[in-house]
Amino acid sequence: MVKYPSALEKGDKLAVTAPSSGVEEHLHMLVHKAKEKVEHKGFIVQTGNTIWTETKSSSANAHIRAKELTQFLEDENIKAIIPPWGGQFAMEILPMIDWNYIKTLPPKWILGYSDISTILLVYTTITGNASAHGTNFNELSAPEWDELTAKWTEVLGCSIGQDVIQYSSNKYQSSWKKTFENPATGFYFDAETEWKSHTGEKSHEFSGRLLGGVMNTLQTLIGTPYDKVNEFTYNHAQEGVIWYLESVDWSAAEIYRCLWQMKYNGWFKNANGVLIGRESGYSPTKDFEVEDALINVFGEEVPVVYDADIGHMPPQNILVNGAYSTVTYQDGKGTIRMQYI
- Indicate if 20 belongs to the active site: no
- Check residue 299 and report its DSSP letter: T
C-alpha 176/C-alpha 194 separation (Å) is: 19
Residues 124 and 177 in one domain: no
- In the chain, the number of structural domains is 2
The answer to whether the CB of 303 falls within 8 A of the CB of 204 is yes
Looking up residue 238, the CATH number of its domain turns out to be 3.50.30.60
For 186, half-sphere exposure in the C-beta direction (CA atoms, 13 angstrom radius) is 15
C-alpha 222/C-alpha 259 separation (Å) is: 11
- Residue 236: give the domain boundaries: 171-339
Residue 1 within a domain: no
- Indicate if 312 belongs to the active site: yes
Of the candidates 259, 315, 316, the one whose C-alpha atom is nearest the C-alpha of residue 290 is 259
Distances, alpha carbon 159 to alpha carbons 28, 183, 215, 338, in Å: 33, 34, 29, 12
Residues 151 and 267 in one domain: no
- Indicate if 246 belongs to the active site: yes
Strand partners for 304: 274
Residues 106 and 220 in one domain: no
Indicate which residue of 114, 117, 251, 325 is catalytic.
114
The answer to whether the CB of 242 falls within 8 A of the CB of 209 is yes
For 331, half-sphere exposure in the C-beta direction (CA atoms, 13 angstrom radius) is 0
Residues 72 and 42 in one domain: yes
Residues 184 and 298 in one domain: yes
Residues 42 and 141 in one domain: yes
Residues 141 and 249 in one domain: no
Strand partners for 197: 305
Residues 33 and 131 in one domain: yes
State if pTM tops 0.95: yes
Residue 175 within a domain: yes
Domain final residue pick, 122, 137, 161 = 161
Domain final residue pick, 139, 161, 183 = 161
The answer to whether the CB of 195 falls within 8 A of the CB of 336 is no
Residues 56 and 176 in one domain: no
Residue 26 within a domain: yes
Q: Where are the beta strands (DSSP E) in 195-315?
A: 196-197, 203-214, 241-246, 271-277, 304-308
* pLDDT tens by residue, the chain, 341 residues: 999 999 999 999 999 999 999 999 999 999 999 999 999 999 999 999 999 999 999 999 999 999 999 999 999 999 999 999 999 999 999 999 999 999 999 999 999 999 999 999 999 999 999 999 999 999 999 999 999 999 999 999 999 999 999 999 999 999 999 999 999 999 999 999 999 999 999 999 999 999 999 999 999 999 999 999 999 999 999 999 999 999 999 999 999 999 999 999 999 999 999 999 999 999 999 999 999 999 999 999 999 999 999 999 999 999 999 999 999 999 999 999 999 99
Indicate which residue of 246, 247, 279, 280 is catalytic.
246
